[in-house]
């Protein structure tokens, strides 16, 4: 019995030590080489970069809009978009315009919950962003529905976050899924650089049609169960401003676009958050001539153009592409 326990304890100690060493190797060699040091260069004629969450992903068709590239990803928060943009701009000075999807939910407090789930972004984070994750509890990022350490799965997350967040880049790799993505993603196989995790999944159209269920689901996802009480996220607003400064320092224009949304969704938006959203949309361009704001949320698209309450489907998307081309031609 004692022998059994001794062996078990030795096994566990070796596992922890081995994990640290393996993590050190994998993190510093594998992930750094994929993410940080080898951010691919986009083609030299790509001047417009679409970025943001699923709103940008479903709205901006980069195969129709010339000289553009859509590097958005669903459920991406500004916290993650900022860090991603930081790397892309460093490697791609030819980019002249960043088109960022900017809708009320992007600054909602609910977005904070998504920060910890974006483990594929961890290797990209700058020092300030790392601090936010390291103090996840104090920053209110931990999910409330089940205590952080209540299940094995949360322990797994705990290990992943904290090992990665240790100084000197020690720890386990955040997730090997992005690496697998990079290896096996079949789309765009003609252009190797587009397989990079920073640039996937790119533009994607929705083939479904609107239903009342999707409106309430989208609202709950964006603003929580108590929609009217949803407030703004200081973290998201900070990173929105940070993206403004980043564009300014890189001499790149930033266009904030509120993509088309269904009237049922617009009517149900939380009033105080929407007010804050509009004041930000006004103040940012006022304070910075590099930034502009375009609101297409209430553009009168019929129901048949929506895949759900806040995304156009492939039919609506074609119409919106023409509107985008007009806007970009006029302004840039």
Measuring CA to CA, which residue among 291, 275, 327, 312 is closest to residue 55? 312
Of the listed pieces 33-41, 86-94, 149-157, 311-319, which binds other proteins according to CB under 8 A?
A: 149-157
Measuring CA to CA, which residue among 324, 147, 120, 106 is closest to residue 235? 106
The nearer residue to other proteins, 7 or 41, going by C-beta atoms, is 7
Question: Cα–chain-centroid distance for residue 212?
Answer: 26
Find the shortest distance in angstroms from Cβ 208 to other proteins. 7
Tokens matching residue 177: 């899924």
Binding other proteins (rule: CB under 8 A), the pick from 13, 15, 94, 304 is 15
Find the shortest distance in angstroms from Cβ 16 to other proteins. 11
By the rule CB under 8 A, 184 interacts with other proteins: yes
By the rule CB under 8 A, 24 interacts with other proteins: no
Binding other proteins (rule: CB under 8 A), the pick from 9, 13, 14, 25 is 14
Tokens matching residue 33: 């080489």
Site string for other proteins, 109-148 (x = CB under 8 A): ----------------------------------------
Binding other proteins (rule: CB under 8 A), the pick from 49, 172, 252, 257 is 172
Binding other proteins (rule: CB under 8 A), the pick from 152, 225, 267, 330 is 152
By the rule CB under 8 A, 156 interacts with other proteins: yes
Neighbours of 199 (CB within 10 A): 23
Q: Decide if 203 contacts 311 (C-beta within 8 A).
A: no
CA distance 58 to 30: 31
CA distance 92 to 87: 9
By the rule CB under 8 A, 4 interacts with other proteins: yes
Find the shortest distance in angstroms from Cβ 186 to other proteins. 5
Strand pairing report for 291-295 and 306-308: unpaired
Secondary structure (H, E, C), 17-82: HHHHHHHHHHHHHHHHHHHHCCCCCCCCCCCEEEECCHHHHHHCCCCCCCCEEECCCCCCCHHHHH
- Please identify which residue in the block is written with the tokens 């978009």: 81
Site string for other proteins, 207-246 (x = CB under 8 A): xx--------------------------------------
The nearer residue to other proteins, 154 or 299, going by C-beta atoms, is 154
Of the listed pieces 64-72, 86-94, 152-160, 306-314, which binds other proteins according to CB under 8 A?
A: 152-160
Neighbours of 34 (CB within 10 A): 18
Cα(first)–Cα(last) distance of the chain, in Å?
Answer: 75
Q: Could you say which residues in the range 88-107 bind other proteins, by CB under 8 A? A: none
Burial-class residue 251 by CB neighbours within 10 Å (0-12, 13-18, 19+). Answer: exposed
Of the listed pieces 151-159, 213-221, 273-281, 283-291, which binds other proteins according to CB under 8 A?
A: 151-159
Binding other proteins (rule: CB under 8 A), the pick from 127, 144, 145, 186 is 186
**Which stretches of the chain bind other proteins, using CB under 8 A?**
1, 3-4, 8, 11, 14-15, 18-19, 22, 149-156, 159-160, 172-173, 175-177, 180, 184-187, 207-208
């Amino acid at each position: 019995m004692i022998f059994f326990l001794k062996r078990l304890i030795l096994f566990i100690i070796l596992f922890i030590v081995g994990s640290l060493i393996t993590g050190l190797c994998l993190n510093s060699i594998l992930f750094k080489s994929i993410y940080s040091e080898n951010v691919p260069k986009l083609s030299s004629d790509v001047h417009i970069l679409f970025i943001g969450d699923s709103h940008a992903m479903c709205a901006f068709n980069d195969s129709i809009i010339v000289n553009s590239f859509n590097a958005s990803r669903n459920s991406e928060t500004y916290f993650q978009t900022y860090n991603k943009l930081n790397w892309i701009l460093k490697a791609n000075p030819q980019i002249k315009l960043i088109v960022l999807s900017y809708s009320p939910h992007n600054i909602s407090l609910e977005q904070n919950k998504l920060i910890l789930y974006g483990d594929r972004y961890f290797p990209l984070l700058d020092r300030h962003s790392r601090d936010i994750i390291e103090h996840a509890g104090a920053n209110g990022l931990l999910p409330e529905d089940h205590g952080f350490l209540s299940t094995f799965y949360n322990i797994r997350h705990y290990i992943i976050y904290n090992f990665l967040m240790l100084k000197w880049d020690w720890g386990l790799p955040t997730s090997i899924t992005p690496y697998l993505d990079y290896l096996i993603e079949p789309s765009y196989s003609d252009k190797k650089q587009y397989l990079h995790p920073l640039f996937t999944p790119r533009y994607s159209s929705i083939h479904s049609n609107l239903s009342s269920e999707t409106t309430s689901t989208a609202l709950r996802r964006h603003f929580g169960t108590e929609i009217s009480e949803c407030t703004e996220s200081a973290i998201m607003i900070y990173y929105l401003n940070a993206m403004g400064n980043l564009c300014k320092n890189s001499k790149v224009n930033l266009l904030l676009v509120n993509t088309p949304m269904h009237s049922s969704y617009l009517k149900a938006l939380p009033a105080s958050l929407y007010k804050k959203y509009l004041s930000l949309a006004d103040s940012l361009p006022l304070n910075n001539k590099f930034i502009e704001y375009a609101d297409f949320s209430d553009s009168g698209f019929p129901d048949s153009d929506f895949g759900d309450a806040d995304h156009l489907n492939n039919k609506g998307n074609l119409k919106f592409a023409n509107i985008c081309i007009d806007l970009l031609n006029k302004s840039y």
